[in-house]
Structure 1
């Protein structure tokens, strides 16, 4: 019972954090939906583009999450702060790249996605501002990762809730010119996102350098060792490859659907947005698994780490079962909240029903993967993501939609198959891992010596 309480203490604020992000996406899509199907389509395509850009740079926050958790477990937060400094410098470099890209390539990115002229004209300015907002998002995710690694999941939750409130309110005010604000249409939604992410960034700076300094001396500069730079970057690359493989698969998935027309794009975005609600419990429990296992490994308690992950899976999958039932029963009324266009919501309902049947696999996949990250088994995760996406998901999506002409059903069948296989592979790896040989990434560890042995 004590273990369950510990898991829930970590998971529930994380679930609330991810829920706020997902619920924000739902509300923004509903607000933007009143601007027409083209606006929904632009938001959908842009979300996939932003996901790919985030995935390209996401390795830093994923690495810091478990590397600092291991430092916290071993009581060496000076080392944890050194690793955090490396991540913040890396985030600054990422911000420069996003700034340059945001000013130069939005139109080209949409063009390569196969967008038609109406979406290109409407979407290019929107993508540009979203890329600028992503600069602050990358910093925010690193700060959140550090806080969660120390067991503090409430502060990231609080800042995320503030962020979400700002996104929704500013989107409404700026998209429709309410309360004296300018009527910016779809562009207002982008600037609302930018302002909210900037505000969250300033809050994170204040918390990290003001409040956390009293606990972990975060304002004290720790001389950066080359081996720690190599470790953080090496782990970041592997975890970035994992996320980028998944995001590129979804990019191809969206690109194939983009060519099916505006209604298909809008229905797909609605279905993905609703499906993301099913990710909330699994993402929260996955984060808890990474933190708890990382801390136990830092303490040198591998047996307890393995048990922590298994109990987390049981709890998370139970939550996912409830979400699956809800999707099956209420797919139509939920889809109608987004749009009144029958062609769009009817397509969305069939996709929601298809996705609801794989929620348990989604949960198992994410939570087992979180546990493997906490154990430092990042090489396996990157290799599996590369193999399943490039050898299976991407080819099947193209064949089903472009060769066999199965449309959205074909694309989603490939997606569901991918999720099931991910769950099976990650479950097998977790259960067969030799936990007695799992070690923390210590100060003396070099990248070549930190792989998990089985």
Structure 2
């Protein structure tokens, strides 16, 4: 995008680079495209995080304080191996999004369906089904390995198994969502996922507390509700793809044809992304074990802080996803300057939103944690962690968005390097030093998180500045 295009007003009928038409005149069409694509993703992620926070709050409000803390800890323990599986699936999705965006930008939409089918099948056959079976068969052993105390295992092993059944459906949904984002369609997955999450919250209320005529199942009820919501989302996704006016036409009854080029691209883009995700999750496993050693109550405080941290990830993730799609399509159409403009604009807007959230976390931490629990020890621990989370925000948001831009270009090696160095070289080592050697407790663990995010930002920002990502080739 040239300087002239950024300054002059666009005609009402001009087609924007992202494929949408302007509803009124914009002085900055790049910003228009960014907001058009990013706001549904941001709403979707924010609502997902908020619904997740409500789930955690519901468990925190269980009358029996010991059972409540064990239930919250059980969800946190379950989330870690679950996130490993989801991050591996997401690595394939990264490759799919990059390829689909390139093909759309290069006016080759006939290749999109083949890419999506390859991603779905690889995710289900290689990851979702085997990992789901492993989680169901070895739930207690995995939880103990993760550092769960006996009360946490007793409260949450059934929850663990039920949620891993839903993992298969969640993986399927993520693949379709990634493909839709690659073509620039973000509103449909937003509506589907918000509806599914809303049903999950209603189901949690009914099954955790035994409202109306439903049994009181506690954390097990939360697992049932979560899995059913994933099934509902899968049904809605398939219905959307079967609509005649769907921008992503996929015929699941049509015979699948293996495509060597698609596999080669997915391997070249997906392996670094997969290793990045694996490094991140394995590093966090070690990190979680260090924190879990501080006891159930402190670990529950940590999980509440993580829940709120998840909310703060949303602007960076949303604008990172938008950057992936727009950078990929711009490079597909050979417009290198436009790709850079999109990356910079997404970073600017996402960082502004994250800064606002940082202010809220820093000054209103106790009030936010108080929504989860009335336990003064948990409130004190978690609100202290929130002050560090606030300081993390500028670096976290920037690196998430620029890493998204690099992935959209198919440049997935440097985000891998950044994550490996940040997580293993700083988060794991420093958390061990601060918690186990210096005895700083939970606050020490979060000092290590700050160091990790700063290092990752340094690597990703440095790579973006080289402009080498503009010249990555996809067949």
Range class of TM-score, shorter chain: over 0.9
Return the alpha-carbon distance in structure 1 between the equivalents of residues 107 and 416 of structure 2.
29
Which residue of the partner structure matches residue 25 of structure 2? none
Q: Does 1:154 align with 2:181?
A: no
Return the alpha-carbon distance in structure 2 between the equivalents of residues 355 and 59 of structure 1.
26
Q: Does 1:96 align with 2:123?
A: no
How many residues are treated as equivalent by the alignment? Answer: 441
Return the alpha-carbon distance in structure 2 between the equivalents of residues 60 and 212 of structure 1.
27
**CA, structure 1 residues 208+412, in 2 after alignment: closer, same or farther (shift >3 Å)?**
same
> Which is further off, 200-209 or 222-231?
222-231
Q: Superposition RMSD on alpha carbons, in Å?
A: 1.6
Structure 1 unmatched runs, 5+: 443-454
Matching residue within 301, 326, 345 for 1:267: 301
TM-score by length of 1: 0.93
Matching residue within 367, 384, 395 for 2:429: 395
Which residue of the partner structure matches residue 13 of structure 2? none
Alignment of 1:148-297 (within 5 A): 148-211=181-244, 216=249, 218=251, 221=255, 223-297=257-331
Return the alpha-carbon distance in structure 1 between the equivalents of residues 42 and 263 of structure 2.
31
The question of whether the paired residues in 1 share the 8 Å contact of 2:241 and 2:248 is answered with no
**CA, structure 1 residues 43+347, in 2 after alignment: closer, same or farther (shift >3 Å)?**
same
**CA, structure 1 residues 436+313, in 2 after alignment: closer, same or farther (shift >3 Å)?**
closer
Return the alpha-carbon distance in structure 1 between the equivalents of residues 75 and 416 of structure 2.
29
Return the alpha-carbon distance in structure 2 between the equivalents of residues 274 and 298 of structure 1.
37
Residue 185 of structure 1 deviates from its aligned partner by 1.3
> Is the partner of 2:243 in helix, strand or coil?
helix
Alignment of 1:67-146 (within 5 A): 67-93=99-125, 94-146=127-179
Which residue of the partner structure matches residue 467 of structure 2? 433
Which residue of the partner structure matches residue 338 of structure 1? 372
Residue 435 of structure 1 deviates from its aligned partner by 5.5
Structure 2 unmatched runs, 5+: 1-27, 63-67
Which residue of the partner structure matches residue 452 of structure 1? none
The question of whether the paired residues in 1 share the 8 Å contact of 2:101 and 2:182 is answered with yes
Which residue of the partner structure matches residue 24 of structure 1? 51
The question of whether the paired residues in 2 share the 8 Å contact of 1:3 and 1:308 is answered with yes
> Is the partner of 1:338 in helix, strand or coil?
coil
**CA, structure 1 residues 372+119, in 2 after alignment: closer, same or farther (shift >3 Å)?**
same
The question of whether the paired residues in 2 share the 8 Å contact of 1:335 and 1:345 is answered with yes
Alignment of 1:19-58 (within 5 A): 19-35=46-62, 36-58=68-90
Return the alpha-carbon distance in structure 1 between the equivalents of residues 185 and 309 of structure 2.
27
The question of whether the paired residues in 2 share the 8 Å contact of 1:294 and 1:374 is answered with yes
Residue 227 of structure 1 deviates from its aligned partner by 2.5
Q: What whole-Å deviation, never above 9, does each CA across 1:383-415 have from its counterpart, x for those lacking one?
A: 332233223322222222222222212211111
Which residue of the partner structure matches residue 364 of structure 1? 398
Q: What whole-Å deviation, never above 9, does each CA across 1:145-178 have from its counterpart, x for those lacking one?
A: 0111111100010011111101100011011111
Matching residue within 68, 85, 93 for 1:61: 93
The question of whether the paired residues in 1 share the 8 Å contact of 2:431 and 2:444 is answered with yes
The question of whether the paired residues in 2 share the 8 Å contact of 1:56 and 1:243 is answered with yes
Return the alpha-carbon distance in structure 2 between the equivalents of residues 30 and 131 of structure 1.
22
**CA, structure 1 residues 431+105, in 2 after alignment: closer, same or farther (shift >3 Å)?**
same
Matching residue within 441, 450, 455 for 1:416: 450
Return the alpha-carbon distance in structure 2 between the equivalents of residues 396 and 268 of structure 1.
17
> Which is further off, 42-51 or 123-132?
42-51
Return the alpha-carbon distance in structure 2 between the equivalents of residues 436 and 124 of structure 1.
47
> Is the partner of 1:357 in helix, strand or coil?
helix
Q: What whole-Å deviation, never above 9, does each CA across 1:307-339 have from its counterpart, x for those lacking one?
A: 110111111111111111111221111111100
Residue 231 of structure 1 deviates from its aligned partner by 2.0
The question of whether the paired residues in 2 share the 8 Å contact of 1:48 and 1:251 is answered with yes
> Which is further off, 403-412 or 129-138?
403-412
**CA, structure 1 residues 230+343, in 2 after alignment: closer, same or farther (shift >3 Å)?**
same
> Which is further off, 333-342 or 53-62?
53-62
Q: Does 1:312 align with 2:339?
A: no
TM-score by length of 2: 0.89
The question of whether the paired residues in 2 share the 8 Å contact of 1:52 and 1:251 is answered with no
Residue 363 of structure 1 deviates from its aligned partner by 0.6
Residue 213 of structure 1 deviates from its aligned partner by 5.9
> Which is further off, 12-21 or 73-82?
73-82
